[in-house]
C-alpha cells in the first residue's frame, strides 16, 4: 500500500462489508490490537479487552446472530471489543462505552493503514446478541460485549469520500 498522510487516513477509512479470501497477517493483527490499546480512556481506566476470532465456524456462528452481520461469513477476522467492568475506575461508569469506542476507531484506522477494511457492528444496546456472544465465547457477566469489528482485505476497495457538511458546524452558540 502506498504511503498516505496521517490525515488522509481518516478519509480513507470506510465501512467494508465484502472481503477477499485472504487471512490477516499475524503481525498486522498485533499492530491493529496495539493501536486499539493506544486509545484514550477516562482516567486512563483502559477497560478494553479484545477477543480475536479467526475460526471460520465461529465467524459463521456469529454471522447468524443478526441478519446485519452477514459479512462475518466472508471476513477472515473479527475483533470482539469487550469492556471489563471489574474494578472500572472511569469517572463515570458509562464512560467505558466511550473508551471502547475510541479503541474500536483506532483499530479500524490501523486496519485501513495496513490495507485492510472493516466495519463496526454495535452490540452494547442489544441484549440478545450480547447473551448469544457470552454463551458462544464463555464471556463472564463482568465483561460487556460492546462491538464487533470484522476485518479483511476489501473485495472492492472503496474510494475516499469527504463527508464534510458545513451546515453542521456552529460557532459560539447553536
Average pLDDT in the chain: 93
Taking 50 as the threshold, does the pLDDT of residue 53 lie above it? yes
Pick the CATH number of 17-156 from 3.40.640.10, 1.10.10.10, 3.20.20.70, 3.40.109.10: 3.40.109.10
Contacts of 14 (CB under 8 A, 6+ apart): 112, 117, 158, 161
Query: Which has more pLDDT, 49 or 125?
Result: 49
pTM over 0.75: yes
* Mean pLDDT along residues 2-22: 84
Buried b or exposed e, range 141-172, using 16+ CB within 10 angstroms: eebbbbbbbbbbbbeeeeeeeeeeeeeeeeee
* Mean pLDDT along residues 36-63: 96
DSSP bridge pairs for 158: none
Taking 90 as the threshold, does the pLDDT of residue 50 lie above it? yes
Alpha helices (H) in the chain, listed in sequence order: 6-12, 26-36, 56-63, 95-113, 127-137
Per-residue pLDDT at 4: 57
Taking 80 as the threshold, does the pLDDT of residue 92 lie above it? no
Taking 80 as the threshold, does the pLDDT of residue 54 lie above it? yes
Taking 70 as the threshold, does the pLDDT of residue 101 lie above it? yes
Q: Report the run of H or E that residue 121 belongs to, with start and end.
A: strand 121-122
Say which residue the cell 496521517 belongs to.
6
CA-nearest of 148, 153, 75, 79 to 116 is 153
C-alpha 79/C-alpha 81 separation (Å) is: 6
Amino acid at each position: 500500500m502506498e504511503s498516505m498522510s496521517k490525515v488522509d487516513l481518516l478519509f480513507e477509512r470506510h465501512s467494508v462489508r465484502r472481503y477477499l479470501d485472504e487471512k490477516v497477517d499475524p503481525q498486522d493483527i498485533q499492530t491493529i490490537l496495539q493501536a486499539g490499546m493506544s486509545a484514550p480512556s477516562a482516567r486512563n481506566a483502559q477497560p478494553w479487552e479484545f477477543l480475536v476470532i479467526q475460526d471460520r465456524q465461529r465467524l459463521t456462528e456469529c454471522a447468524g446472530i443478526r441478519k446485519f452481520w452477514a459479512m462475518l461469513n466472508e471476513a477472515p477476522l473479527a475483533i470482539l471489543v469487550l469492556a471489563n467492568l471489574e474494578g472500572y475506575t472511569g469517572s463515570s461508569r458509562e464512560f467505558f462505552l466511550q473508551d471502547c469506542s475510541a479503541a474500536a476507531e483506532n483499530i479500524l484506522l490501523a486496519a485501513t493503514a495496513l490495507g485492510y477494511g472493516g466495519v463496526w457492528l454495535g452490540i452494547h444496546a442489544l441484549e440478545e446478541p450480547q447473551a448469544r456472544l457470552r454463551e458462544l465465547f464463555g464471556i463472564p457477566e463482568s465483561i460487556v460485549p460492546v462491538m464487533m469489528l470484522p476485518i479483511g482485505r476489501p473485495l472492492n476497495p472503496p474510494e475516499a469520500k469527504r463527508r464534510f457538511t458545513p451546515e453542521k458546524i456552529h460557532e459560539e452558540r447553536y
